[in-house]
């Protein structure tokens, strides 16, 4: 109870200037603040969002543990199910989630993907950065404001826990008149029309931490249906669908409704200028809202979800069913792939090709930073590394090998892999060992292959990141997720000659005027793809303090690829003292990542 009170205290009192109150999260029009006029006795947070109604406190209890499904396949579940229970709230509600870890001998944290955590950076869910991990048998209570509307999701911060089944949908609605594209559809049934897509593996990945060999997924699933998810529609009406790629691997998804076109209206929770397309491509962690109109002959139609990258060859389907249609024959016959249209690349829209619904304000004096992303050739032995972890998480083993010693083709940023701090970087920065920190641009001052890679930024100072996938030893795309902020995607470029890129070549192209930027109406996203032998340029302005991770979740099962974007913030001692301590050990990278 004390922790919840403290959490709500901070939500109400801490922001980037330390003076904001809960009202700073609410609309500025005083006429809609008033009192709760809801007459119904149903106090569920999953409700139509209205004006003149106070925000609610929405409480959820999550128990995470290993479970065997009906097919005897193991998974990590939330309250016995995967995906976990959907969180569906209204704008400005306070979300409170009590997480109990019942995974034997392993720690866990939960990340709320796309939630900006305004005023609550210590609720972001990054182990040893914003909080201590939740140890086996322990309970951690998250509390934060749903400060912006849109399609989000939650997942375990660990890629392995996430892949084993710890994820679920998180939808934040707002009153319909505030929706910028409400005129394009008739129904927004988020409970029925949210498709969250994940993968399944033949065994638990968290049960084989010491084996670095890659195990590919063997299937893609939509929601928690073993057969087919069903979307029921009425002829002649338009429906808003929310699409979530909840896969932690580098698995882009191409989604197409047979004989129907989709109008894209939002990406990563942010509205865009509507674009109609035959299919959409969604990268890991991305979300996309589309409108599909039931304008075909009454019947049943397949929605195909096709995997690419590490999910190449895997497909799954949902059913778009017009009211009154008997779909028994569809279930018996299954998808007819011979009749499905063949797509060309130009018919598929990605989130980074879109334009924001509103022009963004121009920014002067942008600080530009080049981040080199590549797979260098490494030969690292445990004896060469002086930051070995002693872990209570692996019983009967006094030592867990450093992840760098397990393979030699790891992805790195500016020649470094991320090292989890010895103390939570956000909460207790003075306790973090200074010799483990390396500042972006000064990496050569730290000789270790792993370090706490930190980019120091200032409040309200515009930053441009050139994410350069140089591609000297790989032919892969990488997907990056930004915690805390939305990013303006001003440029995505792939070398037409399919040759590796370098920092010198990039600056030459800049001087020659070959790298143009969309600074008028770039899409605002929290998850972006960086193409092979190419680059993605993003801009953001830190408006709230915190220690925010920019991470490539899909780059590695075991070794983190990330940087901390550190923006000055003073957190009251009352809050820090109320949060659980980390204990006397630090888990190995493979347990945290």
382 in the Ramachandran plot: left (φ > 0), alpha (ψ -120 to 50) or beta?
Answer: alpha
In the chain, where are the structural domains located? 34-93+146-353, 367-592
Tens of each residue's pLDDT in the chain, 593 residues? 444 444 444 444 433 333 233 333 333 333 222 233 333 334 689 999 999 889 999 999 999 999 987 677 889 999 999 999 999 999 999 999 999 999 998 899 999 999 999 999 999 999 999 999 999 999 999 999 999 999 999 999 999 999 999 999 999 999 999 999 999 999 999 889 999 999 999 888 888 766 656 788 999 999 987 678 999 999 999 999 999 999 999 999 999 999 999 999 999 999 999 999 999 999 999 999 999 999 999 999 999 999 999 999 999 999 999 999 999 999 998 887 655 556 666 689 999 999 999 988 878 889 999 999 998 766 555 554 444 444 344 444 444 444 544 455 688 999 998 989 989 999 999 999 999 999 999 988 988 888 999 999 999 999 999 999 999 888 899 999 999 999 999 999 999 999 999 999 999 999 999 999 999 999 999 999 999 999 999 999 999 999 999 999 888 776 789 999 999 998 998 988 888 888 655 555 555 65
What pLDDT is attached to residue 593? 57
What pLDDT is attached to residue 214? 73
Q: With the C-alpha atoms ordered 275, 276, 282, 285, is the resulting torsion angle positive or negative?
A: positive
What pLDDT is attached to residue 378? 63
| pTM more than 0.85 | yes
Q: Please enumerate in sequence order all residues whose Cβ is within 8 A of that of 175, keeping only pairs 6 or more positions apart, or say none.
A: 49, 50, 51, 91
What pLDDT is attached to residue 22? 32
Looking at residue 396, the DSSP 8-state letter turns out to be T
- Closest alpha carbon to 413 in 468, 372, 466: 372
Kindly write down the DSSP assignment for every residue of 67-82, as one continuous string: EE-TTS-EEEEETTBS
**Burial class of residue 362 (count of CB atoms within 10 Å of its CB; 0-12, 13-18, 19+):** exposed
Q: Helix, strand, or coil here: 346?
A: helix
Q: Helix, strand, or coil here: 501?
A: coil
Architecture category of domain 367-592 in CATH: Sandwich (2.60)
Q: How far is CA 267 from CA 63, 151, 250, in A?
A: 30, 8, 18
- CATH code linked to domain 34-93+146-353: 2.60.40.420
The model's pLDDT over 347-374, given as tens digits with 9 standing for 90+, comes to: 899 999 999 999 888 788 899 999 999 9
Return the number of other C-beta atoms located less than 10 Å from residue 565's C-beta. 23
- Closest alpha carbon to 555 in 445, 460, 481: 481
Which strand (E) or helix (H) includes residue 331? helix 328-333
Would you say how long the chain is, in residues? 593
- Closest alpha carbon to 593 in 123, 247, 128: 128
Q: Please enumerate in sequence order all residues whose Cβ is within 8 A of that of 534, keeping only pairs 6 or more positions apart, or say none.
A: 468, 469, 471, 492, 493, 494, 495, 501
Pairs from 50-55 (Cβ < 8 Å, separation ≥ 24)? 50/175, 51/175, 53/90, 55/26, 55/90, 55/91, 55/92, 55/93, 55/94, 55/145
Q: Helix, strand, or coil here: 315?
A: strand
Q: How far is CA 427 from CA 12, 100, 468, 486, 585, in A?
A: 19, 22, 31, 23, 17
Looking at residue 210, the DSSP 8-state letter turns out to be T
Looking at residue 131, the DSSP 8-state letter turns out to be B
Q: How far apart are the first and last CA of the chain?
A: 30
């Amino acid at each position: 109870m004390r922790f919840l009170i403290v959490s709500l205290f901070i939500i109400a009192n801490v922001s980037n200037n330390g003076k904001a109150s809960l009202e700073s999260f609410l609309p500025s029009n005083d006429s809609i603040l008033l009192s709760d006029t809801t007459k119904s006795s149903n106090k569920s947070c999953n409700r139509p969002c209205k004006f003149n109604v106070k925000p609610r406190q929405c409480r959820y209890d999550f128990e995470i543990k290993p479970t065997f499904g009906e097919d005897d396949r193991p998974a990590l579940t939330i309250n016995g199910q995967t995906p976990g229970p959907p969180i569906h709230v209204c704008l400005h509600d306070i979300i409170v989630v009590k997480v109990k870890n019942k995974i034997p001998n392993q720690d866990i944290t939960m990340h709320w993907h796309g939630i900006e955590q305004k005023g609550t950076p210590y609720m972001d869910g990054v182990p040893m950065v914003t909080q201590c991990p939740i140890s086996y048998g322990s309970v951690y209570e998250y509390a934060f404001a749903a400060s912006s509307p849109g399609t989000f999701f939650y997942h375990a911060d660990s890629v392995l826990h996430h892949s084993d089944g710890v994820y679920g949908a998180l939808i934040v609605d707002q009153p319909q008149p505030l929706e910028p594209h409400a005129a394009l559809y008739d129904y927004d049934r988020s409970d029925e029309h949210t498709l969250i897509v994940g993968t399944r593996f033949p065994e638990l990945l968290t049960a084989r931490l010491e084996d670095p060999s890659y195990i590919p997924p063997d299937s893609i699933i939509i929601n928690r249906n073993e057969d087919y998810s069903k979307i029921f529609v009425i002829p002649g009406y338009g429906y808003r669908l929310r699409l979530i790629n909840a896969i932690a691997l580098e698995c882009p998804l191409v989604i197409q409704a047979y004989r129907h076109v989709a109008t894209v209206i939002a990406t990563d929770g942010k509205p865009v200028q509507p674009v109609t397309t035959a299919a959409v491509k969604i990268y890991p962690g991305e979300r996309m809202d589309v409108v599909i109109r039931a304008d075909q002959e009454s019947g049943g139609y397949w929605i195909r979800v096709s995997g690419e990258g590490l999910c190449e060859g895997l497909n799954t389907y949902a059913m778009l069913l017009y009211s009154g249609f008997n779909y028994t024959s569809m279930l018996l016959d299954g998808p007819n792939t011979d009749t499905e249209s063949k797509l060309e690349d130009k018919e598929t829209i990605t989130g980074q090709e879109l334009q924001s619904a509103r022009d963004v304000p121009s920014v002067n004096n942008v600080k530009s930073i080049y981040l080199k992303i590549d797979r260098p050739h490494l030969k690292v032995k445990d004896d060469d590394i002086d930051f070995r972890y002693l872990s209570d998480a692996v019983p009967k083993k006094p030592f867990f090998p450093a992840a760098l010693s397990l393979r030699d083709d790891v992805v790195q940023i500016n020649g470094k892999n991320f090292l989890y701090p010895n103390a939570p970087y956000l909460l207790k920065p003075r306790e973090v060992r200074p010799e483990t920190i390396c500042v972006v641009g000064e990496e050569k001052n730290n000789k270790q292959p792993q370090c706490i890679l930190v980019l120091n930024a200032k409040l309200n100072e515009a930053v441009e990141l050139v994410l350069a996938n140089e591609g000297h030893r790989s032919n892969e795309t990488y997907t990056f997720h930004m915690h805390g902020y939305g990013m303006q995607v001003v440029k995505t470029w792939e070398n037409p000659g399919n040759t590796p890129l370098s920092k010198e070549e990039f600056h030459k192209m800049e001087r020659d005027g070959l790298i143009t930027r969309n600074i008028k109406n770039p899409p605002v996203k929290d998850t972006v793809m960086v193409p092979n032998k190419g680059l993605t340029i993003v801009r953001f302005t830190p408006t709230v303090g915190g220690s925010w991770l920019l991470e490539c979740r899909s780059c590695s099962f075991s070794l983190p690829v990330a940087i901390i974007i550190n923006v000055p913030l003073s957190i009251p001692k009352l809050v820090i003292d109320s949060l659980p301590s980390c204990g006397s050990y630090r888990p190995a990278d493979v347990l945290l990542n």
